[in-house]
Amino acid sequence: MFELSPQDWTAIALSLRVAVVSTLIALPFGIAIATVLARASFWGKSALDALVHLPLVLPPVVTGYLLLITFGRKAPVGAFLADHFGIVFSFRWTGAALACGIMAFPLMVRAIRLSIEAIDKRLEHAAATLGANPVSTYATVTLPLALPGIIAGMMLAFARALGEFGATITFVSSIPGQTRTLPIALYELISTPGGQSGALRLTLLAVAVAVVASLVAALMLLRGGTREADA
């Protein structure tokens, strides 16, 4: 009953590839945006915060459609990237990674931002009084102290990317071996007569991965809070 078919393994492998790539590519942007939101004060900060969290409140299909009209092969940005750099997103696994990264980005930013905001600024000031410049202080004090939050953000983003469906199917459709990720394969099994057993297998697998990722994220955030309390 729980034996996975070759098509299931293909969907799982593609989902893992998309989730890993989207998480790693989003990470430096997530750290940068989280740092700005946690530390900087400027006009328009609330607007930036709202923009970052927009994928959480928009219907995923809307996000996928916006990606399609922006990064589609004949769209302005998509055509420029394809003609000048050979980068194509629409109906490719790279497009699935882009969609998953955007949908998971708010969760990553929030976890990292909370971790940075919890850091005692006196530790950073102490490093500065010892002669460290702002870049060195950020690299040797802020980032190491925020590491549990960074890992938590990565795990949450990975789990969200692994379960992304609406934006992905709208932007890249369902192409076997190319864009048919685990959630899309699950949806197609549910929609197919006699596919309930296969859908159950993929559902249990998706639930297991999500639970593990959520537990790791919670442990990392707890560890970060404990470390700050000890400091």
Per residue in 38-75, pLDDT (tens digit) is 988 888 889 999 999 999 999 999 999 999 999 988 88
Per residue in 172-194, pLDDT (tens digit) is 998 888 888 888 888 888 887 77
CB 155 within 8 A of CB 149: no
Using 50, 70 and 90 to split pLDDT, how confident is the model at 106? very high
User: Could you write out the three-class secondary structure of 6-61?
Assistant: HHHHHHHHHHHHHHHHHHHHHHHHHHHHHHHHHHCCCCCHHHHHHHHCHHHHCCHH
pLDDT of res. 98: 94
CB 60 within 8 A of CB 170: yes
> Collapsing DSSP states into helix, strand and coil, what is residue 114?
helix
C-alpha to C-alpha distance for 201 and 187, rounded to whole angstroms: 12
Percent of the chain scored above 70 by pLDDT? Answer: 92
C-alpha dist (Å) from residue 202 to 43, 88, 155, 164: 46, 29, 20, 14
Using 50, 70 and 90 to split pLDDT, how confident is the model at 212? confident
Domains assigned to the chain: 6-230 (1.10.3720.10)
Question: pTM of this prediction?
Answer: 0.85
Q: What's CA 192's distance to the chain center, in Å?
A: 30
Count of alpha carbons within 13 angstroms of residue 33, beta-carbon side: 21
Closest CA to 163 of 227, 214, 126, 197: 214
C-alpha to C-alpha distance for 140 and 83, rounded to whole angstroms: 41
- Higher-confidence residue of 39 and 212: namely 39
- Does 229 score more than 70 pLDDT? no
**CA 55, 59, 65, 66 torsion-angle sign:** negative
Q: Annotate 9-48 with b (16+ C-beta within 10 A) or e (fewer).
A: ebbbebbbebbebbbeebbeebbebbbbbbeeeeeeeeee
CB 9 within 8 A of CB 17: no
Tokens of residue 7, six digits: 């098509």
